[in-house]
Amino acid sequence: MDWTLWLELVIKALVLIFALLGGFAYLTWYERRLLARFQSRLGPNRAGPFGLLQPIADAVKLIFKEELTPAKAYKLVFFLAPIMTLVPSVIIAAVIPWGPPFQLGDRIVTQSIADINVGVLFLMSIASIAVYGIVLAGWSSNNKYAMLGGLRSAAQMISYELTLGLAFVVAILLGNSMNLTDIVEAQRDGRWFVLVQPVGALILWIATLAEVNRHPFDMPEAEQELTAGYHTEYSGMKFALFFMAEYQKMIVVSAILATLFFGGYLGPWVDRWPLLGPVYMFLKIVILLFIMIWVRATWPRIRYDRLMAFGWKVLLPLALAVVMITAVGILLAEINPWMIWLIPIFSLIAGAFASLMIDRSLRRKAYA
């Protein structure tokens, strides 16, 4: 293999890793400042101007904080679990296209580490691996609260992974490809898939919230019931790795949602200046993260039995219906292109019906 190709891969990998690490650090600042605004308080504002050095202060604190390992823990697995949780959150970003290819000298440089034909399958497979670290962390701690948190995470992942896969199928059908770059290119001229299939985008967003254990789906670490869940026994840098994995997954799932339904790196003048692609991705990710944090600030944690019922009885049937509507709409659009707009109409009707079913179920339980 040409050494320049190896050099290109190494440079892109290092840029991506350091971007995710920096993004994790300042996402914590972004979230704390936003939550403070929602709750009429100041948030971090002492370390540096506007509190911008707070992530660095937190990192120094965690590096020098004493690490404790329970005497009865399974020590090797206890040590490896945070690493197994963190690594997939970085690897999964390797196939995301951050911008269009551009000419550099006599070679074409792609703005992704690996532009593979089955990028969507890669996303699904790697997303499933991260839960192993959480489950093993709960088991190896030899603590009942940590074990329950790990088991909850596994059950939640199984429940919402099916819905997540069906939401990916919607994007595959609309883009007629499993290649993420092809899916982005199919959304040119403002034809974002969120306009054609808004319910599919909403389903994917809800499923990703459950996948990264964010409010209102953060049952694996519910402090009222499980102290802290799977990371109860972790401290110092081992806890920081779990913290880092969660926030990096937030960034990556926002990038996936932007890629599949919000046009990815596409935007004005991106063909003339390809390096605008990462800028547009950054802006879309920031907006999606804002919505994710907004949800945390406003919605209460969902009860565990209702979380499972919502995943199996509402979200999964709705995702199946949306896939069927999308497939039929694409077939009809081959007869008449205007029939593509039957997809959002019937999908919104299906979503409204699902909302009525949720409301009816909640009222029935309230009067039971």
253-266 per-position pLDDT tens digit: 999 999 999 988 88
Rounded CA gap, 318 and 204, in Å? 12
Residue 110 pLDDT = 80
Q: Which residues of the chain have pLDDT under 70?
A: 1, 219-229, 359-368
Residue 366 pLDDT = 43
Angle at 199 between CA 198 and CA 204, to 5 degrees: 100
Treating both helix axes as pointing N-terminal to C-terminal, what angle do 236-261 and 75-91 enclose, rounded to 10 degrees?
A: 30
> 171 and 200 in contact (C-beta within 8 Å)?
yes
Name the pTM for this structure.
0.89
Beta strands in 193-322 (DSSP E): none
Residue 225 pLDDT = 59
Strands 107-109 and 102-104: antiparallel
Residue 258 pLDDT = 92
Rounded CA gap, 44 and 41, in Å? 10
Rounded CA gap, 60 and 50, in Å? 19
Judged by DSSP in three states, 108 sits in strand
For 178, the token pair is 């499993």
Residue 368 pLDDT = 46
